[in-house]
A and B are shown apart, each in its own frame.
Chain A
Amino acid sequence: DAGVIQSPRHEVTEMGQEVTLRCKPISGHNSLFWYRQTMMRGLELLIYFNNNVPIDDSGMPEDRFSAKMPNASFSTLKIQPSEPRDSAVYFCASPRGGNTGELFFGEGSRLTVL
């Protein structure tokens, strides 16, 4: 199995630009989580989907952030417009065996907003 695949691995952009992060969960996993990791705030849950439906998006910082999961094999996290404080590592994860199983994480997308 290929594991959770995220792209891009690194992105450097300028303030105000749109950023789109992509995630392909492990095939057969019905849920998907987006996390953000910073030194100041640690790992924060942004949003999670179950069967492609957003269940809890209370962690999404503000309207500049949006996430979609159009099908079971693909999700995007979009930031528009981006700001320097959005600089972080964004992780996508999917749990094995439903939401009681361990989370498998992608390698993360490191975003730097100048």
Chain B
Amino acid sequence: AQKVTQAQTEISVVEKEDVTLDCVYETRDTTYYLFWYKQPPSGELVFLIRRNSFDEQNEISGRYSWNFQKSTSSFNFTITASQVVDSAVYFCALSEAHTGNQFYFGTGTSLTVIP
């Protein structure tokens, strides 16, 4: 079974629109960590954020914000006022303490921001 599900395969938005990327995870651990990574067209994987399972406080970093809800096992990522440079594939990932902290990645959401 998929531990991390990113149901949106591709999203296109017009520049300056807000966009939310969904991530749903599955775990039985009480201690786990959630991550978002960005993969721009150049191919490298860039770390964006890490949250632990005990901290449900939402986080904002510039135009980026993350909504962590344990009740729905979701860790959604919102980009406000999108820009062309935000065009990339975004991956959500889960790390569980009991599996030796192996990282599980979702299949990614390809975001295209149209100028």
Taking Cβ atoms with an 8 Å cutoff, the residues of A that contact B are 31, 33, 35, 42-43, 45, 48, 50, 55-56, 89, 91, 93, 95, 98-105, 107-108, 110
User: Does A102 contact B105, Cβ atoms closer than 8 Å?
Assistant: no
Q: Using A45-B105, A95-B103, A107-B44 as known contacts, list a sample of 13 further A-B pairs with CB atoms less than 8 Å apart, ordered by residue number in A.
A: A33-B103, A42-B106, A45-B104, A99-B100, A100-B95, A102-B35, A102-B47, A102-B50, A103-B37, A105-B44, A107-B43, A108-B43, A110-B43
User: Does B100 contact A50, Cβ atoms closer than 8 Å?
Assistant: yes
Q: How big is chain B's contact interface, by range?
A: 20 to 34
User: Does A42 contact B33, Cβ atoms closer than 8 Å?
Assistant: no
A94–B95 alpha-carbon span in the complex (Å): 13
Chain B interface helix/strand/loop/mixed: strand
Set of chain B residues within 8 Å of A93, measured between Cβ atoms: 45
User: Does B103 contact A45, Cβ atoms closer than 8 Å?
Assistant: yes
User: How many pairs of A and B residues are in contact by the CB < 8 Å rule?
Assistant: 53
Q: Which residue of B lies closest to A31 (CB)?
A: B101
Set of chain B residues within 8 Å of A110, measured between Cβ atoms: 43
Set of chain B residues within 8 Å of A100, measured between Cβ atoms: 33, 52, 95, 97, 101
Chain B 74-99 interface 0/1 with A at a Cβ cutoff of 8 Å (1 = within): 00000000000000000101010100
Set of chain B residues within 8 Å of A56, measured between Cβ atoms: 100, 102
Q: Which residue of B lies closest to A105 (CB)?
A: B45
Q: Check B69 for interface membership: any CB of A closer than 8 A.
A: no
Chain B 47-75 interface 0/1 with A at a Cβ cutoff of 8 Å (1 = within): 10010100000000000000000000000
Chain B 14-52 interface 0/1 with A at a Cβ cutoff of 8 Å (1 = within): 000000000000000000010101000001110100101
